[in-house]
Copies of this chain bind each other. A is one copy, B any other.
Amino acid sequence: MSLLGDLLNTVFERRYAGASGDDSRPIDRLARDLLEAGDEMTELELARRILDRYGRMDDGERLAFFSFLADDCGIDTGELREALDRYEAEQGIRNYRALMAAAEPPRQELFRRLNRVPGATAKLVQMRGDLLRVTRDHPSLKRLDTDLRHLLRSWFNRGFLVLRPISWETPANVLEKIIHYEAVHAIHSWEDLRLRLEPPDRRCFAFFHPAMPDDPLIFVEVALTRGVPGAIDDLLTGTRKALQPGKADTAVFYSISNCQRGLAGISFGNSLIKQVVAELSAECPQLRTFVTLSPIPGLAVWMAEQGVTLTPEDDDAAARLPRIAARYLLGMEGQRPKDPVARFHLGNGAEIHDIHVAADLSESGRRQSHGVMVNYLYDPDRIARNLAGLAAGRPAASRRVQGLARQAEKKEPS
């Protein structure tokens, strides 16, 4: 692809644009020219230059470019009002087209033209990642972000995504991204990676976009087990004996990682889990249970807010921590779950299945949740009911977890 890009460049654009690499026009000038150019080759060459230029910018220059996009390539409200007036007066197709044109900020077309360059999609995703890093300090850029997210959400429509298994036979340039992007239980080395991919009772799946074929968007790591596991080390240890896949009855989703900061706010996880359930059901029809083994990232902070100082070392931790965690996860009736991971899985229609102490004794596991972990269960037959319950403010949970929460109400000081 890059070869071809180079060729096209050589054969057409460079010659045509009549320009050497040291075009000294500022990037906002190039961007305006791109919006106004009339022919494809000029546009392609301008787009390439803008992306190249952007790639070499420092943070200050990027901020300036974002400000240009936010301030000078947005909606012209006066024009929009005029177009609206005319369209309300006469709803002909010309007036409709003029209204639609006025209603879309020109930066949308700019991004679409940039995207024509081979490899541009990944660069636009990175650009949004850069943008997100600065919007906190520069809220005026949020309009720009709103537009860019809108465009990326359209382009990364689920219908365009491809689910691919990730295995030890996957190319190394993809695998190194799995190592890099793993966000839940860090992968420390290639040998560590191999333990998650090569054994016959391990699976991994990722969504890819065809325009970014080497760069996963999101991936999930799965362990095939007998029974629902209650501790992450049982899954990650290198000394365990692998299970024959045909003997597993449970698929455990033990790590889900989003890869592209630039796609924040565009959700793939729900689709991924459900498509992976379908894949695994086809491959291993004897699987009965689809469950996560998930962290509870907000538990420790919430306990601190509540004034509970219990740690796994305390004598009554094994009894009390599950009750506390159950109450935290189930939350107050009528409120959204506080925990972000709970919000995600409950929002997908899962239910809180079980809670385990001493389940993640890593440094981060202790810090976040005093080592407690939770299983969320995906039962296709109950997803609709679970969602309806959630909408009514009653997150779904197993009897055991409900019991724990009730005990918490009685026994835990609050």
List A residues at the B interface (Cβ < 8 Å). 3-4, 7-8, 11-12, 15-18, 38-42, 75, 77, 80-81, 84, 87-88, 93, 96-97, 99-100, 103-104, 112, 115-118, 120-121, 139, 142-143, 146-147, 150-151, 153-155, 157-160, 162-163, 168-173, 175, 190, 194, 198, 210-211, 214, 270-271, 274-275, 277-279, 281-282, 347-349, 380-381, 383-384, 387, 391
Chain B nearest Cβ from A143, distance in angstroms: 5
What's the number of copies of this chain in the assembled complex? Answer: 4
Dominant SS among interface residues on chain A: helix
- A–B complex contacts, Cβ < 8 Å, 18 sampled: A4-B275, A12-B278, A16-B349, A39-B270, A39-B347, A41-B349, A93-B139, A96-B146, A100-B147, A115-B159, A115-B160, A154-B154, A160-B211, A162-B210, A169-B171, A169-B214, A170-B172, A172-B190
Which residues from chain B contact A93 at a C-beta distance below 8 Å? 139, 142-143, 146
Which residues from chain B contact A172 at a C-beta distance below 8 Å? 168-172, 175, 190, 194
Report Cα–Cα, A15/B3, bound state, in Å.
31
- Determine whether the beta carbon of B154 is less than 8 Å from that of A96: no
Chain B residue with minimal CB distance to A7?
A: B278
- Determine whether the beta carbon of B8 is less than 8 Å from that of A278: yes
- Determine whether the beta carbon of B88 is less than 8 Å from that of A84: no
Return the contact of A380 from the options B11, B198, B275, B349 (Cβ within 8 A).
B11
Chain B nearest Cβ from A124, distance in angstroms: 9
- Determine whether the beta carbon of B12 is less than 8 Å from that of A380: yes
Which residues from chain B contact A3 at a C-beta distance below 8 Å? 282
Which residues from chain B contact A147 at a C-beta distance below 8 Å? 100
